[in-house]
Structure 1
Amino acid sequence: MAVTPATPLDIASHGPVIPVIVIEHVHDALPLAEALLAGGVQVLEVTLRTAAGLPAIEAIARQLPQAVVGVGTVLDADDARRASAAGARFAVSPGYTQQVGDACKALKLPLLPGVATSSEIMAALSDGFSFLKLFPAEAAGGIPLLKSWVSPFGQVSFCPTGGIGPATAPDYLALPNVRCVGGSWLTPADAVRSGDWARITALARAAQALRGAM
């Protein structure tokens, strides 16, 4: 059964880690998504970094309605429109522009905007977005930066993404303003190339257990 469309905060409630997925070949989309679902990971961010991204989203949305498939690397309004038409349930952008925000609002496509500075947070807040993606998390300042934002931006929660792995994810998840983290470690390129879906299921299961292990 298909789940209802997710808001950004609903997306965070499904688990501590949102996989950031780069798909090189469309035929990998369904077995990869099935492997993540088998490990308990329901929210999938498929990026537009490759030509296979958009058809992969369409295939997952059509064949696996139990997955909450979203689109990553949304850079402009056209990206948002094409992804929404393909069946994406939410959008993630590496940065924030009002153009992207307005397009997603018009499409009723929940947006997780990327920020790296206080000014970008203020711009996103002014447009009604309070659940934000810190990107690139480690390069931008990581845990110390998020700690410094707790006081001035108490109404904002984050999904840090970029440079985070299973060893550091629990430290991020322990912060009061972090709802979840994004990470590519759940879908290693070599595992996808070799079709090692069991390995991806194991990584997904371990990721789902991260918050409980804190």
Structure 2
Amino acid sequence: MSKLNQQLAALKIIPVIAINDADDAVTLAKVLIENGMPCAEITFRTPAAAEAIRNIREAYPDMLIGSGTILTTAQVDQSIAAGVDFIVSPGFNPTTVKYCQQRNVPMSWG
């Protein structure tokens, strides 16, 4: 089992968050960490997602950050550039899965 899988399994719950204002992301991350939840999946359902991930990564480099609702390879690229640890897709898309494998970023779907 990879280190990431071990870390995620130990958490049991991963908050899934849609952030409308990237300026709110660091405060949210701080509250999560202070309450024993050093992980979040930021959904790409809002235009602020990539910037929110970048803000959290910069403020809390050790926090586990995933991007969710990933539907395209462009969103995979945005996620990686923002600094995610893993990617989540709402369903199985062979193109996106293969692309994540090529980019060496862990991905799950379901």
Using structure 1 for the length normalisation, give the TM-score. Answer: 0.49
Q: 1:110 aligns with which of 103, 106, 110?
A: 106
Flag structure 2 segments of 5+ consecutive residues without an equivalent.
none
Q: 1:80 aligns with which of 51, 76, 81?
A: 76
Q: Deviations over 1:144-190 (max 9, x none)?
A: xxxxxxxxxxxxxxxxxxxxxxxxxxxxxxxxxxxxxxxxxxxxxxx
SS at match of 2:14: strand
Question: Is 1:37 matched up with 2:30?
Answer: no
SS at match of 2:95: helix
Superposed CA RMSD = 1.6
| Count of residue pairs the alignment pairs up | 109
* Alignment of structure 1 residues 47-196 onto 2, 5 Å: 47-114=43-110
Q: Report runs of 4+ in structure 1 exceeding 4 Å deviation.
A: none
Preserved contact between residue 57 and residue 87 of structure 1 (Cα < 8 Å): yes
Q: 1:18 aligns with which of 7, 14, 17?
A: 14
SS at match of 1:46: strand
Rounded to whole Å, the distance in 2 between the matches of 1:28 and 1:108 is: 29
- Give the structure with higher Rg (CA): 1
AA partner of residue 46 (structure 2): T
Using structure 2 for the length normalisation, give the TM-score. Answer: 0.92
Preserved contact between residue 70 and residue 88 of structure 1 (Cα < 8 Å): yes
Flag structure 1 segments of 5+ consecutive residues without an equivalent.
115-214
Rounded to whole Å, the distance in 2 between the matches of 1:76 and 1:43 is: 23
